[in-house]
A and B are shown apart, each in its own frame.
Chain A
Amino acid sequence: MAPPREAHPFSRGGCLGVSATPERTDRELLRRYHHDGDVEARERLIEQYLPLVRSLARRYSYRGEQLEDLVQVGCIGLIKAIDRFDVDRGVELTTYATPNIIGEIKRHFRDKGWSIRVPRGLQELNVKLSKLIEELTVQLERSPTIPELAKAASVEEEEVLEALETGQAYSTLSLSAPTSGDDEDLDPLESLGELEPEYEVSEDRAVLAPGLRVLDERERKILHLRFYDGLTQSQIAQQVGISQMHVSRLIRRSLEKMRAEIATDTTDTELRAS
C-alpha cells in the first residue's frame, strides 16, 4: 500500500535516502541552537536538510541553470528557515523550510533577469496559440503553418515564434505563467520532476529502466504513442484528450526528466565507484 500523499518524503527516511531523523532530534537541535546558541547544532540541521534542498533545486535545474548554483541558493533559504524557526510552534521544520527554500530559488530566478522573465503579452499569446492550433488543425484538416497562426492571432510571425519558445522553456521561466488551460498545468512547479511518494513501493515501477521510472503512466503512454506507434502530436492530442501544445510539453518534459534521472544515476554510480 502506498503511504498517504501528505507524508513528506523527507520526514522519515523517505525515498530519497535521507537518514531517519526523529522529530525530537530536529527539535532538540533547534532548541540547542535557538536557546543555547549552539552553532554546531545549526550546522547539523543544515547538513541533515541538504538532501531536501538538493531535491527542490533539481525541480528547477532542467534548463539553463546549474544544479549546484541552485543548491547554494536553496541553502540560503534553508538557513533562513532554521534561523527564523519558532521552536514553540507545533510545525515541523520540513514544513516550514520547504516554502522558504522554493521562495529563495524563485527569487534567484526573478533577480537573474531575462532568462526567466517573460513578458506577460508573450505568455498570453502562448495560451492563445495553443487554442488556435487546435481550431486551425480541425478547420484546415492539417497542422497550421506559422504564417497561418500569425494571421489568426493578428500578430507578426516573429511574435508567434517567440511565444512558442516561451512554452518550450517552461521549466525556468513559467513558474507562474498562465498555461493552456489544461487542468493539470495548474502549477508548473508541481508538474516538474517530482518524485511521487508512492513510487518506491510500486512493483510495476521497480522493474522499469531508470529513465522510465520517473515518468507517470500518461507520460509513458505518450512517449510510446509518439516514438513506437509513430502517431503525430495532433493524433496523440485527440487520443489522450489534451491540447497539442500540452502533448508537446509533456514529450519534452518526459525526455528531460529521463535525461536528468539517467544523469543522476550515472553520477551516483561514479560516486559509489570512487
Chain B
Amino acid sequence: MSDRIRLTFPRDESYHGVARLVVGGLAARLSFSFEYLEDLQLALDSLLANGAYQAGSDVTLELLVEEDGVEMCVGPVTPALRTDLERRLDESEGVGLGRLLATLVESVEIESRDGGEWLRLAKRTPSRGVAASA
C-alpha cells in the first residue's frame, strides 16, 4: 500500500509555492536528491503554468509514494492539455510541455477519475537516498 499525500489549493499563482514546498517536504522525508526534487518541482511548475485546469475549480495535487518511485497526479485538467502534451516540438520550435515532461519523468498519462481527467506523472528512484535525476 503506497503512502498518499493530497493537497487541494486555489488556482491562484501565489499558491503554487505551497505546492512546491509540499513536494520539497516529501523529498526531504524520503532523502531524494536535489536534482530529483528539481525535476519534480519543474514538472509541477510547468503543469501549473500551463493553466489547463477546469474553470472555477481548485487544483488538486496528489503524491503517491511507491516502492520504486513517486507518482504525482494533478487535476482536474481540461481536454486541451492532451493537445499540449502531444506538442513535443522540434528543436527549432522550442520546448513543448510534452518534451519537458518526457525529460523530467518516466511516464506521463491522462486518466479519467472523480468525474474529470487527471494527469499522472511517474518518476522512478534508482535507489532510496541517492535518487538521481531522470
Chain A residues in the interface with B (C-beta under 8 A)? 63-64, 115, 133, 142-147, 149-150, 157-158, 160-162, 164-165, 168-169, 208-209, 211-212, 223-224, 226-228, 230, 232-234, 244, 248, 251-252, 255-256, 258-259
Contacts and interface: CB of A to CB of B under 8 A. Distances in A.
B87 to A, nearest CB: 11
Given A64-B13, A115-B14, A259-B49, A143 B35 contact: yes
A142 B130 contact: yes
Given A144-B34, A211-B94, A223-B95, A168 B130 contact: no
A168 B35 contact: no
A146 B34 contact: yes
A145 B33 contact: yes
Which of B24, B103, B131 lies at the interface centre, i.e. has the most chain A CB atoms within 10 A of its CB? B24
18 contacts: A142-B33, A142-B130, A142-B132, A143-B33, A143-B36, A145-B33, A160-B28, A209-B93, A211-B93, A211-B94, A224-B91, A227-B99, A227-B100, A228-B99, A233-B133, A248-B38, A252-B45, A258-B94
Nearest to A262: B94
B46 interface: yes
Given A64-B13, A252-B45, 5 more contacts: A64-B14, A143-B133, A165-B24, A211-B94, A255-B100
B14 A168 contact: no
B77 interface: no
B34 A165 contact: no
A230 B100 CA distance: 10
A230 B103 contact: yes
A258 B95 contact: yes
Given A165-B17, A226-B103, A147 B94 contact: no
B21 interface: yes
Q: Interface residues of B: mostly helix, strand, loop or mixed?
A: helix
Nearest to A132: B34
B122 to A, nearest CB: 18
Contacts of B20: 165, 168
- Give the top 7 A-B pairs by smallest Cβ distance, nearest first: A143-B33, A146-B28, A143-B35, A161-B24, A211-B94, A232-B133, A157-B28
Nearest to B23: A161
A234 B46 contact: no
B: interface residue count bin: 35 or more
B27 interface: yes
A203 to B, nearest CB: 15
A212 B13 contact: no
A160 B33 CA distance: 13
Contacts of B99: 227-228
Given A168-B17, A227-B103, A232-B133, A146 B24 contact: yes
B35 A145 contact: no
Contact of B95 (A227, A233, A252): A227
Contact of B13 (A63, A160, A230): A63
Interface string B6-46: 00000001100100110011011001111111100110011
B47 to A, nearest CB: 12
Contacts of B91: 224, 228
A160 B37 CA distance: 12
B79 interface: no
Contact of A252 (B32, B33, B42, B94): B42
Given A227-B100, A248-B38, A252-B45, A209 B92 contact: yes
